[in-house]
Structure 1
Amino acid sequence: MKQLIDLHMHSIYSSDGEYTPKELLELSKKAGYRFISITDHNSIKGSIEAIKLSKNYNIKVYSGIELDCNIKGINIHLLGYDFKGDINPFIEVEKNVLKLEKQRATLMLEKAFDLGLKFDKEKAYVKGFDGIVTGESIAEAALNDIRNIDNEILKPYRKNGNRSDNPYVNFYWDYFSMGKPCYVPIEFMSFEEANKMILDAKGISIIAHPSITVKRNPELIKYMINNGVSGIEVYSSYHNEDDINYYNNLCDELNVIKSIGTDFHGKTKPSIHLGSINTDIQNNLIEYFENR
């Protein structure tokens, strides 16, 4: 069944997004989408901008955001959608997170240099985000610096390497994510705070790509559901068939909605394309959102 709905994509309001909200609408129209949400990292701006433009594309856009938060020592992503209340608290979240990300930039660069990578640090700063670097932007700077041509650390991320499908974000997961050699912690809000913020704004909260965060931890997921989370992103570009079956069954057991999201970013994740998820559950998801 052709994909009609995609509730997870990123614009330039995410530090790792490539396209403007307008460009995402154009790409979504080409993909045949009827319903989308732009869910930028800790920012609601992209989705609000897209909503204003959506009438020109015959696409229903739901407001959205992807909040970084922490639960029992695990960094997770919580998706929030279709806000019918006050969204001003999300503006403050964006300001606070950007401040924290700027504060850790120097240490992230130092850790990258300690790996033996060579690059001009100015090229690692994310364009449009004054003073911020990411694991992905460091990967891009290092992979494009000729001085690293024979660097063994980077070989898996180059053409034909075993991590070359999404080289920038794979480098982030391998070196800068929680528990990895270059990880620099940020004190994000708790899951409870993030979820309350979404619910207070009269929105829907969904657990994003659980296979790479909470993993197969039914008790933790049940705790989140019992605190008001409405569902799980079952159909994700991160999930293989076994993952999909597991989270599908868990949603049935918990009687919560099954969501669909490609997590499209552009060049950061070049193997991920709009319209790449085929599933017959999307009509139920559309009905859930349209009948709120």
Structure 2
Amino acid sequence: MQQFNGRCDLHTHSQASDGMQPPAENVKLAKQRGLSAVALTDHDTVAGVAEAQQAGREYGIDVVAGVEISARAGGKDIHVLGYYVNTEDEQFLDRLRGLREAREERNHLIIAKLQELGLEISWQEVIDGLGRPLEPDESIGRPHMADVLVRKGYAADMRDAFNRYLAEGQPGYVSVPRVAPEDACQWIKDAGGAAVIAHPGLYGDDELVRRILEDSRPDGIEVVHSDHGPEEERRYAELAQEFGLIQTGGSDYHGVRQGVVFHGDLGSKTVTIDVLDKLRAAAAKS
């Protein structure tokens, strides 16, 4: 009989955004790895949550309805995680739809910039690379384009595609207007959820992170993440204590592309089950 370890991975992605596998597969993996709970936090969409929660009932895994909202502050892309959101809230769904439309506009601009660089890549190739029809409310991201760049020989692997073309500051990078983190936090709370600032270590600017916490008043901050080392975890745990925030964590699992797991394997970064109680309590106050 499967033994659950009281651990939770609160940051995973599926095919509903830029993950590699169906939502149910994330839940199956969580069970195989002995987790007690897993959150599905796709970018700007909750399209995969229903499937994940159905799989959770089948596997006996607690599946948290989540989302990862794209925001911008201080000239940087900032991500805000939402937990226990109402996935049927029409206002929230409409707001997410607007974000996906901005994302699609950005995607076409990226393709145009890559073409200007002499790279033969088309939007249709990105869609074809999915290997399946694009479902309603799903979102396409830079990893999908990176996958095409690797397959066509323009990059050695996914990281090389980002480092050479798609990462911030590189020639294929495009930024479009985004909501502010404080708006993203408010949207999540309006939808009955708990708001958490994602992977602060990736922003490379702790003063900006501090300002975001002051302005946005989130419920938590992601202390444990696949791209955080021990020093980052210590620093953000202290920041969480200073601001009275819930300390969350997760792998930021996107699946395997070109033989590489991004950002970390599901279940490799976890928090204890009591974090869910704290997030539920915060969501209840929304």
Class of the TM-score when normalised by the shorter of the 2 chains: 0.7 to 0.9
Which residue does the alignment assign to 2:227? Answer: 238
- Secondary structure of 2:21's counterpart equals coil
Q: Cα 1:60–1:240, aligned 2, differ >3 Å: closer, same or farther? A: same
Matched, 1:205 2:195: yes
| Structure-2 separation of matches of 1:97 and 1:291 | 27
Query: Could you say which residue in structure 2 is the equivalent of 1:276?
Result: 268
After TM superposition, the structure 1 stretch with the greater mean CA deviation from structure 2, 40-49 or 168-177, is: 168-177
Give the deviation of 1:120 after TM superposition.
5.8
Aligned counterpart, 2:23: 21
CA contact (8 A) 2:181 2:216 kept: no
Deviation for aligned residue 1:9: 0.3
Post-superposition offset of 1:137:
2.4
Report what 1:47 is aligned to: 49
**In 1: Cα distance, 2:30 partner to 2:38 partner:** 8
5+ residue gaps, structure 2, are none
- Asked if the contact 2:200/2:209 (under 8 Å) is kept, the reply is no
Deviation at 1:37, TM superposition (A): 0.9
Asked whether the 8 Å contact 2:114–2:121 carries over to 1, the reply is no
For 1:35-76, what per-residue CA distance to the aligned partner results, in whole angstroms no more than 9, with x for missing partners?
111000001122233223321111111110000012233220
Q: Which residue does the alignment assign to 2:165?
A: 175
Query: Structure 1 CA distance, aligned partners of 2:252 and 2:180?
Result: 22
Residues 226 and 136 (structure 1 numbering): CA distance in 2 closer, same or farther, change over 3 Å? closer
- Which letter does structure 2 place at the counterpart of 1:50? A
Percent sequence identity over aligned pairs: 26
Structure 1 residue 189, shift from structure 2 partner = 1.7
Letter matched to residue 11 of structure 1 = S
The aligned runs of 1:92-131 (5 Å cut-off) are 92-119=94-121, 122-125=124-127, 127=130, 128-129=133-134
- 1:261-285 CA-partner distances (Å, limit 9, x unpaired): 101011245152112126xx62442
> Matches of 1:45 and 1:102 in 2, distance apart?
16
Partner of 1:251: 240
The yes-or-no answer on 1:143 pairing with 2:150 is yes
Which residue of the other structure, out of 58, 61, 65, is the alignment partner of 1:59? 61
Question: Match of 1:240, as an amino acid?
Answer: G
Does the residue aligned with 2:255 lie in a helix, a strand or coil? coil
Q: Contact (CA 8 Å) 2:27, 2:63: kept in 1 or not? A: no
1:123-168 CA deviation, whole Å, 9 max, x = no partner? Answer: 22363448986432232222222xx3xx6xx3xxx3xxxxxxxx42
The CA distance in 2 between the partners of 1:114 and 1:204, in whole Å, is 42
Residue matched to 1:164: none
Structure 1 gap segments, 5+ residues each? 159-166
Partner amino acid, structure 2, of 1:231:
G
1:228 equivalent in structure 2: 217
Aligned residues: 271
Asked if the contact 1:79/1:207 (under 8 Å) is kept, the reply is yes
How far apart, CA to CA, are the structure 2 residues paired with 1:133 and 1:275?
Answer: 24
Residue 251 of structure 1 deviates from its aligned partner by: 1.5
Q: TM-score of the superposition, structure 1-length normalised?
A: 0.81
User: Residues 87 and 52 of structure 1: is their aligned pair in 2 closer, same or farther, counting only changes over 3 Å?
Assistant: farther
Q: Which residue of 2 aligns with 1:184?
A: 174
The amino acid across from 1:273 in the alignment is: D
Distance of 2:22 and 2:95 partners within structure 1: 21
Q: 69-78 or 215-224, which moves further after superposition?
A: 215-224
Contact 2:111 2:121 in 1 (8 A): no
TM score, norm. by length of structure 2: 0.82
Deviation at 1:80, TM superposition (A): 0.4
